[in-house]
Chain A
Amino acid sequence: MKKVKLTVLSNERLTKDVFEMRLGGDVSAVTRPGGFVDVRLEGYFLRRPISVADREDGSISLIYKTVGDGTRAMSGLGEGAVLDVLTGLGNGYDPDASGDKPLLIGGGVGVPPLFWLCRELVKRGKEPSVILGFNHADEVFLEDRFRALSVPVAVTTADGSRGVRGFVTDAMDDFDYTYFYACGPLPMLRAVAGSSRTDGELSFEERMGCGFGACMGCSVMTKNGPVRVCREGPVLGKEDVIW
């Protein structure tokens, strides 16, 4: 973990309520796709945990939905704003754990961390496929960027306004996969774990006090005993989760 000052390079709207913020500075502690950062916002006591959606030399990208006051304040920050950020938090996905054909399954704002993961998998010579689940057509984001990696992409929408009608699990059987990586709301994770035919990794969310293992605010029970979502997580193995 590193506490750093990062500068907002851009902060753009992707959909009605989803934004992408690119932050520049010392991002040397950000090494694992699926890991997260904890952002201090002026006027708010606790930091906001946000997954790293992508990382390049000297910058990271965060993709976040405005759900409450803190994320709304984030969306109002302009280029040049400086943020106090804890970087390099969480265990992240293990890109080496999958076979040749991993399946990436994201729902809503669970999609972002899968983008950097997908790039890492492609870099390793694997052939990932991607399922992106949303409620409506106008909520879809990142599809183009996944397609630009030349990987198979399926989009599902709950109302059928785009792609496959239904949930991500309705598209899973269309793929032949050796392993899966998932991130999204809890009901989606539960359904994915239930429908999956292989082993895999799932990323969880909990309310956090610190984000780095000090307060036990984010503990959940697993088959291996208690774990802190911020430290031993947020990514847990399918076999370890107690549903």
Chain B
Amino acid sequence: MVKTEVTLCGIALKNPIIPASGTFGFGYEFAELYDINCLGSISVKGTTVSPRFGNRTPRIAETPSGMLNSVGLQNPGADAVVETELPRLAAVFDGPVMANVSGFSVGDFTAACEKLDAAPQVGWLEVNISCPNVHGGGMAFGTSPEAAAEVTRAVRKIAKKPVIVKLSPNVTDIVSVAKAVEDAGADGVSLINTLIGMRIDLRTKKPVLAEKKGGLSGPAVRPVAVRMVYDVYEAVKIPIVGMGGIARAEDVIEMMLAGASAVEVGAANLTDPFACRDIVKDLPAVMERYGIEDLESIIGGAH
């Protein structure tokens, strides 16, 4: 029997598979399809202190081996998440939940984090300083080491739960941002959020997305994500949650060899609602094929 258990910031997971924020709703709708208790954890939809409708449509465009989205953080707001969404998830999922949080000012981040940190089922806060789909904030925090550190410090001060800071790939040097948030007290980092991209419709001769640009994800970005996880692993001591294009058990192992302690699966859930279940199911056989007995032992193995 192979061992798939891993530990993330002191919390044990039965396996490292976590559906990525924004691609799994608040989880309970997938429970109609399969028993979601097979998952290591669930990163729920990015939550802001106040409700947001998000951007105009079209919000979605297809790309080679991937997609663009410009959803723009549609969510019912932190209070509704704590009062309605998390209890609905608790009815169908026993494990610790990753609460993904966004904001437009340091005060926004701390206000939303404070509410979610208090929910008993929340295991970690995943602080998204990297959303490319909102104007006036979002990603700005993730593109400057100083601003990233400032948000991290503020959240770390008020949070009781481990703080994982989600990094933007839309920077020249992701390592300097990772180091800055580690120094500011982050308990972990997750990467990558989406890469900014654009598609133009030949029939209308205009951008497909109403917001013109959106975030690229899916298998197309996986080599970029693997490279960034590899670089960040060399530079920080805190654990890394790796994501970007993961669609199969083999991809999980590749990301962990690069340095990830756990992984998130995003766009794959959208094209196949059973993607995470199947990755979990396939993982032991794929580990055996590559002679891996203990998954935790391969973290950073490529270095």
Contacts from A to B (Cβ < 8 Å): 1, 3, 40, 44-47, 86, 206-210, 212-221, 226
B1 CB within 8 Å of chain A: no
B59/A207 in contact, CB under 8 A: yes
How far in angstroms is the closest Cβ of chain B from A187?
Answer: 15
Cβ of B233 within 8 Å of any chain A Cβ, yes or no, is no
Interface centre among A210, A217, A221 (most CB of B within 10 A): A217
Chain B contributes a number of interface residues (CB within 8 A of A) equal to 35
Q: How close is B222's CB to chain A, nearest CB, in angstroms?
A: 13
Query: In residues 48-84 of chain B, which contact A (Cβ within 8 Å)?
Result: 53-54, 57-67, 69, 71, 74
| Contact between chains at B71 and A214 (CB < 8 Å) | no
From the candidates B60, B65, B208, name the one contacting A217 in the complex (CB within 8 A): B60
* Stretch binding the partner chain, chosen from B155-163, B178-186, B266-274: B266-274
User: Which of B25, B208, B270 lies at the interface centre, i.e. has the most chain A CB atoms within 10 A of its CB?
Assistant: B270
Q: How many residue-residue contacts, CB under 8 A, span A and B?
A: 88
A219-B66 in contact (CB<8A):
no
For residue B58, give the distance in angstroms from its CB to the closest CB of chain A.
4
Determine whether B288 belongs to the interface, using a CB cutoff of 8 Å to chain A: no
Residue of A nearest to B19 (CB): A214
- Bound-state CA distance A47–B62 (Å) is 10
A215 to B272 Cα, complex, angstroms: 12
Whether A216 lies near B271 (C-beta < 8 A) is no
Point out the residue from A1, A45, A219, A226 that lies within 8 Å of B59, measured CB to CB.
A219
Among B54, B59, B219, B270, point to the contact of A214 (Cβ < 8 A). B270
The 6 A-B pairs at the shortest CB distance, nearest first, are namely: A210-B270, A217-B60, A207-B58, A207-B60, A216-B74, A209-B60
B271 engages A217 (CB within 8 Å): no
Q: Is the CB of A220 within 8 A of B57?
A: yes
Asked if B271 contacts A47 (CB within 8 A), the reply is yes
With a cutoff of 8 Å between Cβ atoms, the chain B residues found around residue A221 in the complex are 53
A residues near B30, Cβ cutoff 8 Å = 214
Contact A214 B29, CB 8 Å, known A1-B273, A45-B67, A226-B53: yes
16 contacts between A and B (CB under 8 A): A40-B271, A45-B65, A45-B66, A46-B271, A210-B23, A210-B270, A210-B271, A213-B29, A214-B23, A214-B24, A214-B25, A215-B23, A216-B45, A218-B57, A219-B54, A226-B53
